[in-house]
Amino acid sequence: MHAYQLIHWALITLSISFVKFDFAPSLEFLISLVGIFLIAEKLKAATEDLSVHLGEQFGGILLGLMGNLPEIVISLFALSKGLTPIVKASLTGSIIGNLLVGLGCAILAGSSKFKIVKFNIRAVRIHSSMVMLATCGLLIPAIFHLTSRKAVNSISISISWVLLMIYLLSLIFSLVTHKGFYKTFEDSGSQLPLENTESDEQERPRVSIGSALGRLVFNALLIAVVSEVLTGSLEPLSKQFGFSEVFTGVILLSLGGNIGEYLNAISFARKGKMDIAIQATMGSATQVALLVAPVLVLLSGILGDRMDLNFTSYEVASVLMAVSITRAFTYDGESHWFEGVMILSVYVILGFGFYYISV
């Protein structure tokens, strides 16, 4: 085993040890964040190996699902502790973060090797449409909150079932009936390379599907454990620095919980695989809106603290702006580094709003 691999596993082990031992919240947050970074690299490699057997489209969906699974588990633990506002804010932050941070970074990474990065127009439009549909589901409870609190809980449950049904139908659409809609561009054949750019990618050795799946599950469980440590350090950390629950959930928790997905998207984009990077970012945002949020609403009743889909006006407006911005910049099926910068700048602007709105 190489020295850098030993260092990786030492840091991962240290981040997991925080489950049993208490340290300063800021130290726990930083070390667990590094642990998620390192585990995400291994999760990405396992997903790449599995996509060789199952196809890039299924691999992208699986990547987003594995990235969101820890978020579901962590959120359920947080709901059991009565941290509903932070959980709801983290869902908003995940959608906004994947659409703006994840996609913006992926475009910048792809632009480091290609003048113009291209991707499947149909897939992008479908993802943005589904997130827009889910946003409509967030608007209705906010309206009913003005008239009847009891109606908010009931209508949130009803909307959650509809969103789950849409998510299941989207899987049938993308994997069965309309697979051609998600046909990917070849690694670099459809891209415009920068001058003097040489390919430094080597063919990955083919591994068995059982080995790839086992590594995928193992690293997903590790991320869940380390993410729990990260979440546990958030509340004392936010109190130490005076952050609000909304800012903590939207910015800190969502960025920490989704950092692995951002790294995966960046890696795929650098290899010219923008379609799977799109699936890992916009697809992940779709999964949060259509799968994670409804599941949490339906399961929260078991934990005693019922969660609803009544988000603040600024959160709903931020999601609408994020969807509109990404749709505008990706509607033509191509992008470049300056558009990546502009997408990231929108996230920074929204972040300032989340900070000052709660001061």
Q: Which parts of 282-344 are beta strand (E)?
A: 334-335
The predicted model gives 90-113 an average pLDDT of 91
Contact 190, 118 (CB under 8 A): yes
Per-residue model confidence (pLDDT) at position 255: 78
Per-residue model confidence (pLDDT) at position 181: 66
Main-chain phi, psi angles of 89, to 5 degrees: -65, -35
In terms of C-beta density within 10 A (0-12 exposed, 13-18 middle, 19 or more buried), how is residue 147 classed? exposed
Query: Does the pLDDT value for residue 308 go beyond 80?
Result: yes
Mean pLDDT of the chain: 78
Please give the Cα distance from 207 to 51 (Å, whole number).
Answer: 11
Please indicate whether residue 248 or residue 342 has the higher confidence score (pLDDT): 342
Query: Does the pLDDT value for residue 201 go beyond 80?
Result: no
**pLDDT tens track for 220-262:** 777 777 777 777 777 777 777 777 778 888 887 787 767 777 8
- Joined tokens for residue 301: 């009743």
- Describe the strand order of the beta sheet including 192-193 as a list of residue ranges: 192-193, 114-118, 334-335
The predicted model gives 341-350 an average pLDDT of 94
As a whole number of angstroms, the longest Cα–Cα distance in the chain is 63
Please give the Cα distance from 228 to 240 (Å, whole number).
Answer: 19
- Joined tokens for residue 220: 């997903």
Query: Does the pLDDT value for residue 11 go beyond 70?
Result: no
The predicted model gives 77-103 an average pLDDT of 86
The contacts of residue 109 (CB under 8 Å, 6+ apart) are: 265, 266, 267, 269, 270
The predicted model gives 329-352 an average pLDDT of 91
Per-residue model confidence (pLDDT) at position 96: 93
Per-residue model confidence (pLDDT) at position 103: 92
Range among 34-43, 92-101, 293-302 with highest mean pLDDT value: 92-101
- Confidence band (pLDDT; 50, 70, 90) for 344? very high
- Joined tokens for residue 244: 């609000």
The predicted model gives 185-189 an average pLDDT of 45
Query: Does the pLDDT value for residue 293 go beyond 80?
Result: yes
> What sign for the dihedral angle of Cα 292, 101, 271, 40?
negative
Domains and their CATH numbers in the chain: 3-10+25-192+208-356 (1.20.1420.30)
Please indicate whether residue 308 or residue 9 has the higher confidence score (pLDDT): 308
CB atoms closer than 10 angstroms to residue 136: 12
CA atoms within 13 A on the CB side of 306: 11
Please give the Cα distance from 344 to 236 (Å, whole number).
Answer: 28
Lowest mean pLDDT among 97-101, 152-156, 189-193: 189-193
- Confidence band (pLDDT; 50, 70, 90) for 190? very low
The predicted model gives 84-100 an average pLDDT of 89
Query: Does the pLDDT value for residue 61 go beyond 50?
Result: yes
Query: Does the pLDDT value for residue 281 go beyond 80?
Result: yes
Query: Does the pLDDT value for residue 71 go beyond 80?
Result: no
The contacts of residue 33 (CB under 8 Å, 6+ apart) are: 230, 256, 259
- Confidence band (pLDDT; 50, 70, 90) for 187? very low
Assign 56 to helix, strand or coil: helix
Per-residue model confidence (pLDDT) at position 185: 52
Please indicate whether residue 22 or residue 30 has the higher confidence score (pLDDT): 30
Which pTM does this prediction carry? Answer: 0.80
Which residues on adjacent β-strands are paired with residue 116?
192
Nearest to 97 by CA among 358, 344, 355: 344
